[in-house]
């Protein structure tokens, strides 16, 4: 079964509450996404492999550590873009590969329209970035693409996940590591997370219908 971590922290609960509030304006929504992503990243990167690195401080030599292996950030367009910058702040040497998917509104299934993964040299660790894990369809498609690429360690960062989506990913991808700030119980008839926060992409990019 996939390893699911709901990161429990009072700062996360505080920031997620602001994120959920329908009165939160887009500029503040984006700020909250960044703060939450940084907190999730701390948990999701806690067991990354390191190697010894001798350095010289202003006072003495010492042996520190450096991250080992190649790391990739894989945002699912478009909402996943909101999680990239805070991850890049912590992982400045990570490559960013984009996967474009849109939701078929009649079937609520993802349709891939863009894939920028290279044909070879897979990353050692890949982070799928998507603020919302609803049905799990888009993340499943991304996980399949990363498996074909040959990435041995795939991790998911989502802000809010629905239990049905988590159950699906646990069944289909036993080695997947999933990190979320909150798990909501259900999806509505339109396959939106309830209580959720609405459409994350529209709220990040201020494209809500007037």
Task: Point out the residues that are catalytic.
Answer: 103, 107, 199, 202
Q: Which residue has the tokens 């909150």?
A: 182
Surface-to-core class of residue 147, CB atoms within 10 Å of its CB (0-12 exposed, 13-18 middle, 19+ buried): middle
The continuous run of DSSP H or E covering 18 comes out as helix 10-20
Low-confidence ranges of the chain (pLDDT < 50): none
d(CA 119, CA 137): 23
Domain carrying residue 151: 3-51+62-205
User: In this structure, is residue 57 part of a structural domain?
Assistant: no
User: In this structure, is residue 37 part of a structural domain?
Assistant: yes
Strand ranges, E, within the chain: 3-6, 50-56, 61-67, 71-77, 95-96, 99-104, 109-115, 125-129, 132-133, 153-162, 177-184, 186-187, 193-194
User: In this structure, is residue 56 part of a structural domain?
Assistant: no
- Model confidence, pTM: 0.89
| pLDDT score of 111 | 67
Q: Shortest CA distance to 157 belongs to which of 137, 127, 183?
A: 127
Q: pLDDT tens across 152-171, in order?
A: 999 999 999 999 999 999 99
| pLDDT score of 2 | 65
CA atoms within 13 A on the CB side of 136: 20
| pLDDT score of 10 | 95
Q: pLDDT tens across 34-50, in order?
A: 999 999 999 999 999 99
User: In this structure, is residue 94 part of a structural domain?
Assistant: yes
Q: How many domains does the chain fold into? A: 1
CATH number of the domain to which 100 belongs: 3.40.50.2020
User: In this structure, is residue 210 part of a structural domain?
Assistant: no
């Amino acid at each position: 079964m996939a390893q699911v971590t709901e990161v429990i922290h009072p700062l996360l609960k505080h920031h997620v509450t602001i994120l959920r509030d329908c009165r939160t304006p887009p500029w503040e929504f984006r700020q909250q996404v960044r703060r939450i992503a940084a907190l999730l990243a701390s948990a999701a990167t806690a067991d990354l492999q390191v190697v010894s690195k001798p350095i010289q401080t202003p006072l003495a030599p010492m042996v520190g550590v450096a991250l080992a292996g190649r790391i990739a950030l894989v945002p699912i367009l478009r909402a996943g873009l909101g999680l990239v910058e805070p991850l890049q702040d912590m992982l400045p040497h990570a490559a960013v590969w984009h996967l474009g998917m849109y939701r078929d509104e009649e079937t609520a299934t993802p349709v891939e329209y863009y894939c920028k993964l290279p044909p070879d040299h897979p990353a050692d660790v890949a982070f799928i970035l998507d603020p919302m894990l609803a049905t799990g369809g888009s993340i499943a498609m991304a996980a399949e693409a990363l498996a074909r690429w040959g990435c041995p360690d795939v991790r998911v960062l989502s802000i809010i996940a629905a239990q049905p989506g988590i159950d699906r990913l646990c069944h289909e991808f036993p080695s997947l590591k999933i990190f979320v700030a909150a798990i909501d119980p259900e999806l509505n008839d339109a396959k939106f997370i309830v209580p959720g926060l609405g459409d994350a992409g529209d709220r990040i990019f201020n494209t809500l219908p007037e």
